[in-house]
């Protein structure tokens, strides 16, 4: 029996089983233009200690891209569908960027189904959108319309991974973007741009870890202000990191996740 109103989208996902007694499973939710495989550094660190469910969000990887406009609520419904399909009444959610928005939407709609939240470089904007977000949105739309997704991927990739030693990450990101449907990317971009959420009291009681890169698109102070609303929030700043912190500072992220996920519920 379904426990929540859901979509009919069947997401592609990776499933890594741990041994018995490992507690609630952990969902890893990727960012815009990414896919499940980009969590490989975290999968290698966490598999064996936790059951990991790592989906391709709609329109990403090899998950389907339904027609029409999308909203973050649609991504959340896809996740409810997957949780019900796997008969998982309660999970931990780790979300990066777009994935963090989806995780927060799930926790807000059904807090009893979320054991804990980890948001990496992800937050809602309550009130008017900052100028930086408006500029980034229209810049991406203009570049994609003029030069295509591969060019957009290279531009973003060079900003995310500016160090010479990170060139392989730039090329991988650009190739991944080139293989994504333009319509799906724009539908997901629009979903991010139009997202609005009013946090419910029960959701604000969810144990939360916020991971904030010191050089992210949005300032650390903004994430601090968001974190202050929650009853139980651990806040960690990652130095020398842009937006793609799970990749450019993987060991630090892995250590934080291992510590947070191993805490008993009453300690979070």
pLDDT tens, 102-146? 999 999 999 999 999 999 999 998 777 778 788 888 989 999 999
Domains for the chain: give ranges and CATH numbers.
Answer: 13-128+196-267 (3.40.50.1820)
Q: Which run of H or E residues covers position 74? A: helix 72-85
Average pLDDT score over residue span 5-28: 83
The chain-wide mean pLDDT, for the chain, equals 91
- State both tokens at 260: 């947070």
pLDDT tier at 268 (50, 70, 90 boundaries)?
Answer: low
Tell me if residue 212 falls in helix, strand or coil.
Answer: strand
pLDDT score recorded for residue 1: 33
The span from the CA of 155 to the CA of 145, in Å, is 14
Tell me the per-residue pLDDT of 32-91, one tens digit each, with 9 for 90 and over. 999 999 999 999 999 989 999 999 999 999 999 999 999 999 999 999 999 999 999 999
Q: Which run of H or E residues covers position 168? A: helix 167-178
Q: Is the dihedral of CA 22, 97, 157, 150 positive or negative?
A: positive
Q: How far is CA 185 from the centre of its chain?
A: 15
Q: Is pLDDT of 260 > 80?
A: yes
pLDDT score recorded for residue 266: 52
Tell me the per-residue pLDDT of 162-181, one tens digit each, with 9 for 90 and over. 999 999 999 999 888 889 99
The answer to whether the CB of 227 falls within 8 A of the CB of 252 is no
Average pLDDT score over residue span 182-194: 95
Strand boundaries in the chain, DSSP class E: 13-16, 26-29, 52-55, 91-96, 114-120, 208-213, 233-238
Strand boundaries in 152-250, DSSP class E: 208-213, 233-238
pLDDT score recorded for residue 6: 63
pLDDT tier at 18 (50, 70, 90 boundaries)?
Answer: confident
């Amino acid at each position: 029996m379904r426990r929540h109103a859901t979509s009919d989208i069947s997401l592609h996902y990776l499933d890594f089983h741990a041994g018995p007694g490992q507690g609630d499973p952990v969902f890893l939710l990727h960012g815009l233009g990414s896919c499940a495989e980009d969590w490989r550094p975290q999968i290698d660190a966490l598999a064996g200690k936790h059951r990991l469910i790592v989906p391709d969000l709609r329109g990403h990887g090899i998950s389907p891209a339904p027609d029409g406009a999308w909203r973050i609520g649609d991504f959340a419904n896809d996740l409810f569908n997957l949780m019900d399909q796997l008969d998982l009444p309660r999970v931990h959610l780790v979300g990066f960027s777009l994935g963090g928005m989806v995780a927060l939407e799930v926790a807000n709609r059904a807090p009893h189904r979320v054991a804990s939240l980890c948001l990496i470089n992800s937050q809602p904007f309550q009130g008017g959108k900052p100028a930086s977000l408006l500029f980034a949105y229209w810049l991406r739309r203009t570049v994609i319309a003029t030069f295509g997704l591969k060019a957009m991927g290279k531009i973003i990739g060079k900003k995310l991974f500016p160090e010479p030693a990170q060139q392989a990450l730039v090329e991988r990101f650009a190739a991944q973007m080139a293989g994504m449907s333009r319509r799906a990317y724009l539908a997901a971009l629009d979903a991010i741009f139009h997202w609005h959420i009013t946090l419910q009291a029960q959701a604000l009681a969810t144990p939360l870890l916020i991971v904030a890169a010191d050089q992210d698109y949005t300032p650390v102070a903004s994430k601090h202000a968001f974190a202050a609303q929650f009853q139980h929030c651990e806040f960690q700043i990652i130095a020398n990191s842009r937006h793609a912190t799970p990749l450019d500072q993987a060991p630090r992220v892995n250590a934080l996740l291992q510590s947070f996920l191993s805490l008993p519920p009453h300690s979070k």
